[in-house]
Structures are given as C-alpha cells and as structure tokens.
Structure 1
C-alpha cells in the first residue's frame, strides 16, 4: 500500500505553476492559462445558436461579449472562448447553451498567448510582419484567421488595434513562445 500521494499540481502549457508574461519594449506577451476553449459545429440543417448571448461570427471574424468570445474556424464551425474557464468542463457549459450542436472540449489541446502594445497598433503590426504572411493593415480588429507561424499552424485573432491573440497547439507551446519572444525582442533593437 502506498503511503504517499503524487504531487498533482496543475501547470501551464509552458510548464510553470503560474502563467508566463514578459515585456519587450512596447509589447507584452502573456500566456493566457485561464482560457477555456471548445469547438462548436452545427449539424445538418441547424441554425446557429447564440451561446451565452454571443452571436457566432461570420467568415474570418471574431466577436466577444463579456467573458465569452468566438471566432470562425470553418463552414458552420467556431471556436468558443471563455475567460477563466480553463479549470472547468467548458464544453459541458457550452452544451447547455447549444444542446443541438456538436461540441468538443479544446482547452487542453491548445495554448493561447495574448500580445498587448502600450504604443497603439504600430508595434502589433510590426510583430505581425515578422511572424506571419498577413498584411497587418488589412487584418484589423475583429478579424481572425488560421495561418502558419514558422513551422506551426496557429489561429490569430486581432482583439483590438493594440491587442493580438495567438492560439496554437499546446504541444508546441515552448516553440510558439520562443518564436513570439524572439520576434518581439528583435523589434526592440
């Protein structure tokens, strides 16, 4: 019989007990360890619900309302976000709001990094030019897309002129952090 219990302290995608944040000049990159994620897909012939009062966005866009947000991922498919819901079964919460939809918990499959600028849009746009093949002037607030970033596939969400979210596979969290930090650091020079 075992007389000890294994330490089951939760860790973030970057392997720490607290979310990582680092500033690079005007930019701050923060691991959003509390973000709950679930994918939502309509079934044949179904109309789009409004989970938590949130109207689901159209092609290439994102919406937010309070602690909830959603971005389009494909025809009749979205990723729904919930601030502070990483430690609960967010898909079950979403299922109560959209019982006829197909839902899958995604929180543990992805990691999110929030990038904020203290000097408006210019630093965010400069970072985007270093990282992705997307015209930052044409990718304004409320837009979302799936794209390549180095060797990884990520979702980009332009939350505001001065804020960008990057969501990628949790297994690549270290590589994604490294890519973001290196690019942000180069902008300081």
Structure 2
C-alpha cells in the first residue's frame, strides 16, 4: 500500500516562511483555487447568480473582491480566479460548478499554482527589482497579470504592505529564489 503525503510547491511537508530584514516571504498552501469563465452571453447572469448564492461581486479589470469566505480577482475578459480557505472549501471547483451550471466553465486550479505572500514596508522596492508592474500605484484589492523575472504571474495587493504572488506551481522554486534574492538585495 502506498503511503502518499502531500508536499508544498517548494517540495516540503510544511510551508516555508523566510524573514529577510523587514520583509517576510511566506509560502501559502491553505487556499483552494478555481477559475471561472463566463460562457457566451452569460456574464450578467453569472454576476447575479454569484451575488445571490455567495454574496460575491465579480470584480472589474485589475480588481478583486471578497465575501465572507471567498476572494476573487479578475484574470481576463469574463474570467476570474476564486480563492477560499481549503479546510472549508476543499471541493471549491465542484461546488461552484453546481451553482453556475451551464452559464460558466469552472476549472480546479488548486494544485496548478503556487502562492507566496510578501509582507513588509519595502514591498515596492522588492517588486520594482523583479517586475515592471506599477506596484507603487497598486492599492489594496488591485490585481494584475504580468511577469516577475521571466515567469508569468498574478500580483494581488492584499494590504498596503502585503502582496500575494501566484505563479505556476512547476516554477515555484524559481519564483521563490527570485523573491528571496530581491529581498536580500534591498536589506
């Protein structure tokens, strides 16, 4: 019998947290993710359905929103990423699919992405070394698709001094290395 155990995107049995100067880089592994794409001519129906069923407003370009348990950010035209605590929403994609039926496509994304939260007062200094995203003008709730080093990522400003970085799970070590190296360069 196999004795399988889950590993984080960085290959450990528990998430890594690194403090460098006044910055903290934390691997976040306790969120379920699902992408949601409205089907043709169903955007307004999708908006109202999720508002009624989950109390969530699907955000516009470059924005995010929250309800009690769900967070969502804009990914592209008529496309969003929904995040929720994994311990309460392990079947997030399946449950969303039951709600939206034929008005949207839902895809499980939890194990396809890695997430690092960077926290600290020199947040913008770090990201300006890695990306051309306008991090200094991003306010809490803003989300943008861009590149960090050579990797396609989403930058999601959670708080004034906290940025979530979502990238491909297969590139987690490269992404983490870039964040750590940039943090060391500004301390």
| TM-score of the superposed pair, with normalisation by structure 1 | 0.89
Measured after TM superposition, the shift of residue 137 of structure 1 is 2.1
- For residue 21 of structure 1, what is the aligned residue in structure 2? 17
Measured after TM superposition, the shift of residue 86 of structure 1 is 9.2
Of 20, 38, 41, which residue of structure 1 is paired with 2:37? 41
Runs of 4+ in 1 over 6 A off after TM superposition: none
Unaligned runs of 5+ in 2: none
- Taking the TM superposition and a 5 Å limit, the aligned residue runs for 1:82-161 are 82-85=84-87, 88-99=90-101, 100-117=103-120, 122-161=121-160
Alpha carbons 1:36, 1:86 under 8 Å: kept: no
1:87–1:12 distance in 2 versus 1, CA, 3 Å: farther
C-alpha distance in 2 between matches for 1:53 and 1:143: 20
Matched length: 180
- For residue 180 of structure 2, what is the aligned residue in structure 1? 181
Alpha carbons 1:145, 1:156 under 8 Å: kept: yes
- For residue 165 of structure 1, what is the aligned residue in structure 2? 164
Alpha carbons 1:147, 1:153 under 8 Å: kept: yes
**Is residue 76 of structure 2 the alignment partner of residue 74 of structure 1?**
yes
Secondary structure class of the residue paired with 1:70: strand
Further displaced range: 86-95 or 137-146: 86-95
Q: Deviations over 1:107-158 (max 9, x none)?
A: 11111111112xxxx4111111111102222222111111111111000001
C-alpha distance in 2 between matches for 1:28 and 1:66: 26
Alpha carbons 1:114, 1:165 under 8 Å: kept: yes
